[in-house]
Structure 1
Amino acid sequence: MVCVLVALCVSTAGSPARAAPLRDDPTWSAAPAPPAGTPGPDARSYFYLEGEPGTVLRDSVALTNPGDESRTFRLRGADAYNERGGGFAVREEGRSRGPGKWIATAEDTVEVPPRTRAEVPLSVTLPDSAVPGDHPAALVVDDGERKVGVRMYLRVSGPTLAALSIENVSVEERDDGSAAIGYTLVNRGNTTLRPRLAVDADGLFGSLIRQPARALPVELLPGRSVTRHERWPKPPSVDVAHVRLTVTAEAGARATATTTYPAVPVGWLVGVLLVLAGGAVGWYARRRRAGGRADRTPSPPAPPERHERRPRPQPAAPTTGAAK
């Protein structure tokens, strides 16, 4: 069942009631329905629902149409994930396999009259097999011209773990003389994290960077990773920098990673390579010349033969004939 709320402005002078626009903004909006007693439809910017496996959680979404024409909206649940750079994104229709399929709305298609806010009930059925922790999703609202994803943070009650790691730290030079420190954050727990990053670098001649921890514009969803770059405006020209990144988040999550950045001017590097190459060529040439001289050196004369002195043969003694 869809509850349609029409904003009316009633004249105390007895003139007929007329519909009053809810906003000056001509576009429509979608947001969690405000709790009773709150002033406007944007009292909540996202859904947060928690329960045990097997339970059904209930809420409502408010669709506001401040324009002069009726609008027809389509509603569906979708899995949420981090894009590579950290942005919050949702699966396309028919591609959700997780919490997006747990979401059901009272109506899949809702027509909202002009200058009207419609509240559409919805339910989230947590499967019996749902594991504890956060299961990010979104309610996607589409009017045929644009889509709006209302974030939905679903938590299944039970043990939670806040854990992350920082990987693939690198430093790359840029054409404008600056450098970029690249890194990848990985959420290895089962809760959504809002990381803070500190950057330090020390060289052979002292400290190079002391950047205190600051909040990153990222909501790191469970099991997801994001790759980011920090700008280093003035890296050293000649040094060996030891760069250290420290990331922290809720519930004591913490990780550290390091890399080494050898800063050598291109001219110096070319000069060193030329000197080394010249030295190698000279050494090789000397070896070749030394080898050629060795081939042309005459062999030393052979030592004279030594003749072995043999004893002279003695003449045989005369033989005498026997007496007859």
Structure 2
Amino acid sequence: MTSRPARAALLLAAASLLSALGTLPATAADDAPLPGTTWTVEPATADGPDGRVSHRIDAEPGQTVADHVAVTNYSEHPATFELYASDGLVTADGQFDLLPSGTTPVDSGAWVSVGEGGVPATEGSTPMRVEVAPEATVTVPFTLTVPADATPGDHPAGIVAALVPVAGEQQVSFDARVGVRLHLRVAGDVLPTLAVTDVQAGYSPSWNPFAPGSVEVEYTVTNEGNVRLGAGITADAAGPFGWASTSGEGVAQRELLPRQAVTSTVVLAGTWPLGPVSGEVTVVPVVVGDDVVEVEVPTVAAGWSAWALPWAQLALLALAVAAVLLVRRTRRRRELATQRRIDAAVAALDRETVDA
């Protein structure tokens, strides 16, 4: 039988997968603050959930947009939730998430007011609370007011429903919150731009002198534009005059938010130690999901160089030369010893002839 902690881990893993598809984690574990509590939060109209995966909003600076979220309590007991908005981010493993609990949003999360007469999240503000009956759904309105001086492009955010612990119930260490993603694009010039920088490479020889080594190339991909983009990454290497060329693929980035930077590596196997080696890291921008980018998105590349010195081959050559010298020295010593024995025999024969 699966333990409660194990079920919690499985549910949180499944929630992370859902977040990669555009929705933040949508299920709580059995050992959440209120035992057996399971719930979702999803886009809705005033009448209830409408089947959208996330909120997608295009707005002008200064515009106010109204929409709804629906909180559904699948449990057999009532539950209370705190609803609030926060800024979006992409984690190191490529999953969409929101700022940690208690962190005040500074971008689009601070532009969202949840509930009738709600106010945006600020430091020290109190989130809206809503009680949901057993196996019931409550629809909550929210408004998003884009500042007049908001910069064009993508401003990711999300709306969270955090379970409020019941007084006297056992507390747990993990954050029991679920949420729905909000894609906001502020009107204006779209600038889809990626950059690849800080490219460094190092050669690792093979222990087998008759086999090639590998080059590990480290690089940083930065979204310098104002809209989210994915990135396909390749790298290549070659010796002098293009000899012994090889190539490989880096870790594809499913989504890079504006101003986000990711550092990764790609290993180019099959690189022979021919002295100087060089190559490029090439980044091909990819439009994410249903996003619309009507301008050309240029491919970018950055070069690198390194020394692939044939240490294993030189060691083998040194051993071969040492072996030849040793054989020659041994042969010379053997020849000298033989010559000494011959000289001794001749001298003895001469002495016998004189004595006779």
TM-score range, shorter chain: 0.5 to 0.7
Matched residue, 1:157: 187
Matched residue, 1:123: 143
Q: Cα distance 1:207–1:264, how it changes in 2: closer, same or farther (>3 A)? A: same
Q: How many Å separate the matches in 2 of 1:119 and 1:183? A: 46
* Equivalent residue runs for 1:26-41 within 5 Å: 27-33=38-44, 41=49
Matched residue, 1:236: 271
What's the CA shift for 1:228?
2.0
Q: How many Å separate the matches in 2 of 1:270 and 1:111? A: 75
Higher helix share: 2
Matched residue, 1:142: 162
> Quick one: which amino acid aligns to residue 111 of structure 1?
E
What's the CA shift for 1:170?
2.3
> Quick one: which amino acid aligns to residue 258 of structure 1?
G
Q: Cα distance 1:229–1:87, how it changes in 2: closer, same or farther (>3 A)? A: farther
Matched residue, 1:66: 74
Deviations 1:65-103 (A, max 9, x none): 222222211111112234456543422434212211101
Matched residue, 1:197: 233
Q: How many Å separate the matches in 2 of 1:172 and 1:83? A: 27
Q: Structure 2: which 5+ residue stretches go unaligned? A: 1-26, 30-36, 117-127, 165-174, 207-212, 288-295, 319-356
Give 3-state SS (helix, strand or coil) of 2:109's partner. helix
Over aligned residue pairs, what C-alpha RMSD do you find? 3.4
Deviations 1:25-63 (A, max 9, x none): 973222222798xxx958322211111111111111122
Q: How many Å separate the matches in 2 of 1:119 and 1:235? A: 59
Which deviates further from its counterpart, 254-263 or 202-211?
202-211
What's the CA shift for 1:125?
0.5
Paired positions, count: 245
Q: Cα distance 1:260–1:56, how it changes in 2: closer, same or farther (>3 A)? A: same
Q: Cα distance 1:237–1:32, how it changes in 2: closer, same or farther (>3 A)? A: same
Q: Cα distance 1:90–1:236, how it changes in 2: closer, same or farther (>3 A)? A: same
Matched residue, 1:95: 104
CA contact (8 A) 1:197 1:247 kept: yes
* Equivalent residue runs for 1:1-324 within 5 Å: 27-33=38-44, 41=49, 43-83=51-91, 86-92=94-100, 93-106=102-115, 108-144=128-164, 145-172=175-202, 180-204=216-240, 205-209=243-247, 211=249, 216-232=252-268, 234-239=269-274, 240-249=276-285, 250=287, 251-264=296-309, 266-267=311-312
CA contact (8 A) 1:34 1:43 kept: no
Deviations 1:217-272 (A, max 9, x none): 4311112212122344x342523432312112244132111212333355457799
Which deviates further from its counterpart, 27-36 or 52-61?
27-36
Q: How many Å separate the matches in 1 of 2:248 and 2:87? A: 39
> Quick one: which amino acid aligns to residue 277 of structure 2?
A
CA contact (8 A) 2:56 2:184 kept: yes
> Quick one: which amino acid aligns to residue 151 of structure 2?
V
Q: How many Å separate the matches in 2 of 1:66 and 1:271? A: 70
Q: Cα distance 1:238–1:79, how it changes in 2: closer, same or farther (>3 A)? A: same
Q: How many Å separate the matches in 1 of 2:74 and 2:160? A: 19
Q: How many Å separate the matches in 2 of 1:115 and 1:173? A: 60
Q: How many Å separate the matches in 1 of 2:216 and 2:177? A: 34
Give 3-state SS (helix, strand or coil) of 1:198's partner. strand
Q: Structure 1: which 5+ residue stretches go unaligned? A: 1-22, 274-324
Q: TM-score, normalised by structure 1?
A: 0.64
Give 3-state SS (helix, strand or coil) of 2:85's partner. strand
CA contact (8 A) 1:82 1:226 kept: no
